């Protein structure tokens, strides 16, 4: 876009120069004091310097990507690539270079585009300012704390999109667990198998609802976005034995986007796994950075506390007449909690500070939990984490700290919800 805009900007100013060059000489003598050779020299300098800065920007970005991928994980490369500031910096610098080339080829002894040359000077100043901001942002964004906070920002947006602002109830959690237990029973249903392997990136639920209304069918989606699908495994189950041709089956399959990598489009656990990967690399012997791991644990605990206060994602989708057409695989608090903390607990079992930080996070989650299933899942994870920590720790002081944090978690899990929360749950 910057390249196209620079071409349009150059052509526009050249036309203005050609139409009002006599007025420019009369009214703006400080712009028209340069000779053709001087304008060529200025534009050549601008073009060369902008191309050099663009090369530096590419090099600095590649260095940042190399360091970040090696220390914090390759999945974070996408955060650098999609950065608007990085894209804008490269666009402004390369656009200014293109602008200088276009204007430079029009300079002659008979036609000196003074206004266009001044426009190139302003673009050069803009490119320099953008480059300075880029360098500052690059140095800041390479800090582990900033990267973790950035990933948490993406996770927070995904949670806002996935979980509506509503309180869950014990009944909803029990129904979700019951539904997830029966997902593998397809004896009375017609199943459509996946013809390719990969990660389920997104599901076009509105189109699937319309197809269910068109074919008078109900669909049971077997996999959640983010899960890996093997070739020939069940993709979606239909309510009965339909008479569908190949084109209709293809239309149903087109509602499922399967790719080679996971994305955060409909998979909020993708950002959770990014934080987990950063924590795991920080706990590895080669890096040994428990402070970064504790930062990830803090943000993961905050995310789980938010999930505990919200209603489970919608699992039944209806058509305009209110008839259920699509049922998706339900997500549960327990599965998300396992995804967030099991691997970190396994990697940090021999580090008391990491175990203590996890137990403190579990205590905060237990205080936010509003259902018995949530508190039970938190209590189980806390017990296992404490057992692992005590098993790998011989220092008496560390053992006492772990036991004290575990008691705090268990006390929080035994607490009853507040009166307002009980009223909300009763109304739900």
User: Are residues 161 and 93 part of one domain?
Assistant: no
Q: What is the pLDDT of residue 165?
A: 62
How many CB atoms neighbour CB 45 within 10 A?
13
145: which 2 tokens?
Answer: 């704390």
Q: What is the pLDDT of residue 32?
A: 59
Structure confidence by residue, pLDDT tens digits, 293-325: 999 999 999 999 988 888 777 788 888 888 888
Q: How far is 306 from 336, CA to CA, in rounded Å?
A: 12
User: Are residues 418 and 292 part of one domain?
Assistant: yes
Q: 367 exposed, middle or buried (CB, 10 Å; 0-12, 13-18, 19+)?
A: middle
User: Are residues 308 and 161 part of one domain?
Assistant: yes
User: Are residues 161 and 126 part of one domain?
Assistant: no
User: Are residues 161 and 73 part of one domain?
Assistant: no
User: Are residues 117 and 161 part of one domain?
Assistant: no
User: Are residues 300 and 161 part of one domain?
Assistant: yes
174 occurs within a structural domain: no
The upper half-sphere exposure of residue 257, i.e. CA atoms within 13 Å in the direction of its Cβ, equals: 15
Q: Which residue stretches of the chain have pLDDT < 50?
A: 168, 176-177, 179-186, 416-428
User: Are residues 161 and 103 part of one domain?
Assistant: no
CB-based contact 200:256 (threshold 8 Å): yes
Burial 100-132 (b: 16+ CB within 10 A, else e): bbbbbebbeeeebbbbbbbbbeebbeebbebbe
Q: What is the pLDDT of residue 37?
A: 84
Greatest extent of the chain over all pairs of C-alpha atoms, in Å: 89
Domain total in the chain: 2
Sheet with 228-229: list strands edge to edge. 228-229, 198-203, 256-259
Last residue in a domain, options 142, 175, 208: 142
User: Are residues 161 and 17 part of one domain?
Assistant: no
Count of residues in the chain: 428
User: Are residues 104 and 161 part of one domain?
Assistant: no
Q: What is the pLDDT of residue 415?
A: 55
Q: What is the pLDDT of residue 184?
A: 47
R_g of the chain, CA atoms, integer Å: 30
66 occurs within a structural domain: yes
User: Are residues 30 and 66 part of one domain?
Assistant: yes
Main-chain dihedrals φ then ψ at residue 24, nearest 5 degrees: -65, -45
Q: What is the pLDDT of residue 140?
A: 78
Smallest CA-to-CA distance from 257 within 214, 218, 205 is with: 205
321 occurs within a structural domain: no
237 occurs within a structural domain: no
375 occurs within a structural domain: yes
The range of the structural domain enclosing residue 308 comes to: 157-165+280-313+331-427
User: Are residues 161 and 52 part of one domain?
Assistant: no
Chain CA centroid to CA 177, Å: 27
Q: What is the pLDDT of residue 87?
A: 87
Smallest CA-to-CA distance from 252 within 322, 326, 187 is with: 326
61: which 2 tokens?
Answer: 């970005």
Q: What is the pLDDT of residue 38?
A: 83
Q: How far is 59 from 65, CA to CA, in rounded Å?
A: 10
Chain CA centroid to CA 347, Å: 24
């Amino acid at each position: 876009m910057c390249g196209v805009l620079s071409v349009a900007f150059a052509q526009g100013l050249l036309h203005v120069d050609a139409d009002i060059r006599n007025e420019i000489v009369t009214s703006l003598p400080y712009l028209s004091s340069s000779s053709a050779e001087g304008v060529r020299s200025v534009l050549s300098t601008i073009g060369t310097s902008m191309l050099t800065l663009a090369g530096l920007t590419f090099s600095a970005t590649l260095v940042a990507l190399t360091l970040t991928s090696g220390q914090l994980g390759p999945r974070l490369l996408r955060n650098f690539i999609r950065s608007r500031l990085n894209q804008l910096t490269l666009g402004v610098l390369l656009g200014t270079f293109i602008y200088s080339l276009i204007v430079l080829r029009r300079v002659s002894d008979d036609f000196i585009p003074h206004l266009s040359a001044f426009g190139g000077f302003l673009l050069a100043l803009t490119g320099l300012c953008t480059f300075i901001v880029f360098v500052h942002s690059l140095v800041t964004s390479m800090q582990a704390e900033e990267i973790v906070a950035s990933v948490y920002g993406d996770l927070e947006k995904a949670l806002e999109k996935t979980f509506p602002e509503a309180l869950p109830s014990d009944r909803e959690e029990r129904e979700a667990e019951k539904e997830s237990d029966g997902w593998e029973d397809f004896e009375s249903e017609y199943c459509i198998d996946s013809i390719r392997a990969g990660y389920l990136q997104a599901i076009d639920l509105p189109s699937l609802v319309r197809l269910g209304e068109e074919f008078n069918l109900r669909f049971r989606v077997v996999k959640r976005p983010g899960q890996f699908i093997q070739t020939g495994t069940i993709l979606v189950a239909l309510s009965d034995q339909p008479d569908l041709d190949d084109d209709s089956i293809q239309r149903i399959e087109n509602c499922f986007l399967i790719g080679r990598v996971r994305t955060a489009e409909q998979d909020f656990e993708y950002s959770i796994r990014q934080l987990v990967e950063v924590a795991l690399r920080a706990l590895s012997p080669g890096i040994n950075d428990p402070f970064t791991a504790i930062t990830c644990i803090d943000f993961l605990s905050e995310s789980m506390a938010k999930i505990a206060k919200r209603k489970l994602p919608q699992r039944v989708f209806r058509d305009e007449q209110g008839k259920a057409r699509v049922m998706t695989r339900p997500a549960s608090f327990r599965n998300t909690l396992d995804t967030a903390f099991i691997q970190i607990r396994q990697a940090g079992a021999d580090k008391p500070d990491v175990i203590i930080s996890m137990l403190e996070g579990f205590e905060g989650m237990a205080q936010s939990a509003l259902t018995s299933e949530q508190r039970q899942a938190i209590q189980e994870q806390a017990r296992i984490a404490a057992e692992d920590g005590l098993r790998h720790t011989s220092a008496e002081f560390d053992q006492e700290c772990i036991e004290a944090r575990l008691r705090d978690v268990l006390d929080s899990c035994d607490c009853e919800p507040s009166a307002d929360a009980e009223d909300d749950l009763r109304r739900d």
